Amino acid sequence: MGKQEKIVSMFNDIAGTYDVANRVLSMGIDKSWRNKACNLAFNFYGKKDIGKIVDVACGTGDMILFWKKVANENKINLQNIVGVDPSVGMMEVGKKKLPEVEFIEAGAADMPLESDSTDIISISYGIRNVVQRQEAFDEFARVLKKDGLVVISEFTKNKKEKLLDHVTDFYMNKVLPVLGGMISKNKEAYTYLPNSIDEFLTTENLCKELKLAGLEPIHVKAFSMNISTLIIARKL
C-alpha cells in the first residue's frame, strides 16, 4: 500500500468520530478560522454571483457548511458547491449532513472537473495529506477560472521563537494523540497528525509551490499562536 492509500484508509477508519474529535482538539477555534477564510475569500473575489466552489479534501463536509453559511450572510448567490475527497468513508458522513451537495471521489492531483470552470477552490487542513502536492496545485490552476482563488487553511511548521511556540508544540505532539486516540479509538491516526505537520512545509515553501503553478499568493496570515495559517492565492 502506497503512502497516499494508507492515508486514505486511515481517514476511512476514523470518519465516524472525526467531527467530534476535530472540535475537541482545536477547542472549537477551527470554526473562527474557517469563518475568516470564507469571509476574506469572498471579499477578495468581490462578486455577488458565484457559479462554483470546489472544496478539496472535503472530508465530512465541514468547510462546505461554512461556505454556504457565509455566502448567505454576505448575500452572495452561490449556485453550486462540490466536495472532492479520496476517502469514501469521510464523504458518507458528509452526505448525511449535506444531502443536496455533490460529493466526488477523487484525489487533489486528478479531479474529474472541467478546466476554467471554478471560481474558488478550498482545501482546509488537507494539503498536508496530499502526497503529490505540486501536481495538486497545477490541477487547481487548471480547474480555476482566470482570477479564481485558492483558499488554503493548514497547520504549518513555523520556527519556534517564543515560549508559546513550545506550548503549541507540546499540545500537538503529546496531548493531541492521546485525546484524539481516546475519541476515535485510533491513536495511530492522531499520532500521524503532528508528524505530518513536522514533515510538512513552511509557509514560504507553500507559497513558492503555488507560484510555480501560476497561483499568486495575495493574503498570508497565521492565526492562534501560529497554529493555523491561511493562504489565499489568485490564478494569474
Annotated binding site: 60, 85, 124
Please state, in angstroms and rounded to a whole number, the distance separating the CA atoms of residues 96 and 90: 11
Binding site for S-adenosyl-L-methionine: which residues? 60, 85, 124
Residues listed for the chain: 236
Which grid cell sits at 16?
465516524
How far lies 113's CA from each of 49, 52, 84, 118, 140, in Å? 20, 11, 10, 9, 10
Please state, in angstroms and rounded to a whole number, the distance separating the CA atoms of residues 105 and 173: 31
Please state, in angstroms and rounded to a whole number, the distance separating the CA atoms of residues 163 and 72: 40
Please state, in angstroms and rounded to a whole number, the distance separating the CA atoms of residues 113 and 61: 18
Residue 6 near residue 195 (C-beta atoms within 8 A): no
Nearest to 14 by CA among 180, 133, 178: 180
Task: Give the SS3 label for residue 191.
Answer: helix
